[in-house]
Chains A and B, each alone.
Chain A
């Protein structure tokens, strides 16, 4: 079977994340990027399925030049091959355009049984792209999955959303996973060396048959008018417990009308 892991290269949350002043898009060039932490769980889930049966795992990303690093990380973990969709016209694409590009790429890969992704990216954090991809492909989407089993052409999942649900869907399907599903492996030295020989295809919009006017900032269906940096929270009063810490805490809460 063929599994696609959708991965995203995001600004490292541990570094200073910022926006481009010129067009209010996320700065993806001037900051350190990493494979979105939440997508590591999707890659791991794909690898587990591949190890227990016969599956090929293809890591797919869309993003500027450096975004290929997210694919490389997935290859180091054990994915078999990668696809990097890169095109200058993609800069500033909204979730709708992104999902269109990814859905078209999945169709181009062809005969895909399962699409896995993280429950959200750790930058935009919208959580909508997997469902949009499923909508465009006419497939089921099972989101917020904490446990996943494949039985032939059916996927059974435990969802940890508003309530815990057990869901069955027939393949092909799109599944997005939470951090409860597994413990992503750290690439081994062997894995890092092996990844250098694994194929990564680079696709442009023309390769996908998508016109450049349909994507990017100018084609986005929402616009950012302003971005304001919030003032850093300033440290308030800190007391050290000397046997009356609880009373002081209660007094503070009462002074703020919470009691």
Chain B
């Protein structure tokens, strides 16, 4: 079996769910080797072994955290050049995509981004043009560099005792050209992260700026909160929660759009959701054309009633 490198996405050793998804996918195509870059490895160990990493390459270099991702791409390229894996899998988020981009150039290898599925033969599936097409593709040159969207696989546990290999990080001055001066902590809302959540409840213009009913329904369902561009542009919700072509793309099991008419840019960001539900005053809103279930009416009364009913059913 050949090695598949999985870049660990983590914050100070707290491993994100995307990584356990990637380890699960990697097992289909070979033996998963995790690559841990940055500080906090001790905290990450348990998760990596629980989800099947046969090997872990560790570059525990705190300085990797002081710059944007170019140094990480450099160290990952050094590891990949030594290991010569069958593929490198990276989470499809802003940092992950940049690492993948630089890696593909350094390794002179083909790249595929935003895969929603990766087969045992490393053939990928992607969504194109606002999810109106499904594209099957594969890398034909070098070491396939593939970024995979969150929720592309259900993480499956497979306990291992990974072999650890320390890697000395050698980082060039060129890759240190962009220095991080300050970093704000992730907001602690107690909710799952938007791009990883199984359930997302989003609010739009129809909220009139009051996101309380949206948040309450999300909390009752254990979901994340999203927002349309109109809501974000109005300053009602942070940009980090924007769902759509110019924000985050989400692909949850359940997407509830509240007070969102469903412009094509928004649909591009949520169209691959498994089940879509909408609540909107306007029966002609384009969002209704793609829902599994829709309620025409005022979200300010419908959402609280639904929340109450859900909490009642949950006892």
Contact = CB atoms under 8 A, between A and B. Distances in A.
B133 A240 contact: no
Interface residues of B, number: 89
A251 B302 CA distance: 13
A168 B97 CA distance: 20
Contacts, number: 268
A241 B105 CA distance: 55
A21 to B, nearest CB: 13
Contacts of B101: 95, 127-129, 131-132, 135
B161 interface: no
A37 B295 CA distance: 32
Nearest to B93: A162
Interface centre among B199, B268, B289, B310 (most CB of A within 10 A): B310
Interface in A196-250: 220-230, 232-233, 235-241, 244-250
B303 interface: yes
Given A163-B184, A250-B309, A96 B105 contact: yes
B166 interface: no
A60 to B, nearest CB: 19
B151 to A, nearest CB: 15
B306 A258 contact: no
A250 B184 CA distance: 37
Contacts of A126: 97, 111, 113-114
A29 interface: no
Contacts of B268: 13
Q: Is the interface of B mostly helix, strand, loop or mixed?
A: mixed
Given A38-B246, A221-B141, A222-B137, A160 B239 contact: yes
Interface stretch (A69-77, A80-88, A140-148, A184-192): A140-148
Interface string B218-230: 0001000000010
Contacts of B140: 220-223
Contact of A161 (B95, B291, B301): B95
Interface string A108-128: 000000000001001101111
B296 A239 contact: yes
A25 B183 CA distance: 40
Contacts of A238: 283, 288, 291, 293-296
A164 B184 contact: yes
Interface in B166-210: 174, 177-186, 199
A241 B229 CA distance: 26
Nearest to A157: B178
Interface stretch (A1-9, A46-54, A173-181): A173-181
Contacts of A22: none
Interface string B124-141: 000111111111111111
B178 A141 contact: yes
A151 interface: no
Interface stretch (B39-47, B80-88, B272-280): B272-280
A170 interface: yes
A114 B305 CA distance: 53
B132 A229 contact: yes
Given A162-B95, A173-B177, A223 B102 contact: no
A139 B94 contact: no
Contact of B182 (A18, A146, A166, A254): A166
Contact of B183 (A129, A138, A165): A165
B113 A245 contact: no
Contacts of B97: 126-128, 131
A94 interface: yes
A211 to B, nearest CB: 16
B107 to A, nearest CB: 10
Given A163-B186, A168-B178, A249-B277, A239 B294 contact: yes
Interface string A28-47: 00000000011000000000
Nearest to B135: A227
Contacts of B183: 163-166
A223 B138 contact: yes
A194 interface: no
A56 B311 CA distance: 60
Nearest to B273: A233
A143 B309 contact: no
B53 interface: no
B313 A254 contact: yes
Contact of A141 (B98, B293, B305): B98
Given A96-B104, A240-B297, 7 more contacts: A95-B104, A135-B102, A227-B128, A238-B296, A245-B305, A246-B306, A254-B313
12 contacts: A95-B111, A96-B104, A127-B94, A132-B104, A141-B98, A167-B179, A168-B179, A225-B137, A226-B135, A229-B134, A238-B291, A247-B309
A-B CB proximity, top 5 nearest: A246-B305, A241-B297, A221-B110, A140-B177, A128-B101
